[in-house]
Amino acid sequence: MRASLENFLASKYGEWFIRSIQVGLGLLFIYASLDKIMNPGLFAKSISNYRLLPLPLLHISAIILPWLELICGIALVINRYQRAAYTIIGGLLLVFVLAITSAMFRGLDFNCGCFSMDSEESNVGLLKIFQNLGLFFSCVLIEYRTRVVQPNS
Partner 1 sequence: MLQMKKLVKDILTLVTVSTVLGIAAQTVLPNGIGLRTEVTIIGDDSSEVAIPAVSINPNGNGEAAQNISLANAYKAFQNNSVLFFDARSPEDFGAGHIANATNLPVHAFMDSLTYLENLDPDGHIITYCDGEDCNASIDLAADLKMMGFSKVNFFFGGWQEWRDAGYPVESSP
- Residues at the interface with partner 1 (CB under 8 A): 37-42, 44-45, 48-49, 55-60, 62-64, 66-68, 70-72, 75, 81, 83-85, 87-88, 109-111, 119-120, 123, 150, 152-153
Closest separation in Å from C-beta 48 to partner 1: 5
Q: Is residue 55 within 8 Å of 45, Cβ to Cβ? A: no
Closest separation in Å from C-beta 109 to partner 1: 8
**CA 64, chain centre distance (Å):** 14
Angle formed at CA 18 by CA 15 and CA 22, multiple of 5 degrees? 130
Cβ distance to partner 1 smaller for residue 7 or 140: 140
Closest separation in Å from C-beta 4 to partner 1: 26
Q: How many CB atoms lie within 10 A of CB 126?
A: 10
Cβ distance to partner 1 smaller for residue 83 or 133: 83
| CA–CA distance, 41 with 58 (Å, rounded to integer) | 10
Cβ distance to partner 1 smaller for residue 42 or 135: 42
The rounded radius of gyration (Å) of the Cα atoms in the chain is: 17
From the list 141, 28, 20, the residue with the least C-alpha distance to 74 is 28
Closest separation in Å from C-beta 59 to partner 1: 5
Cβ distance to partner 1 smaller for residue 3 or 120: 120
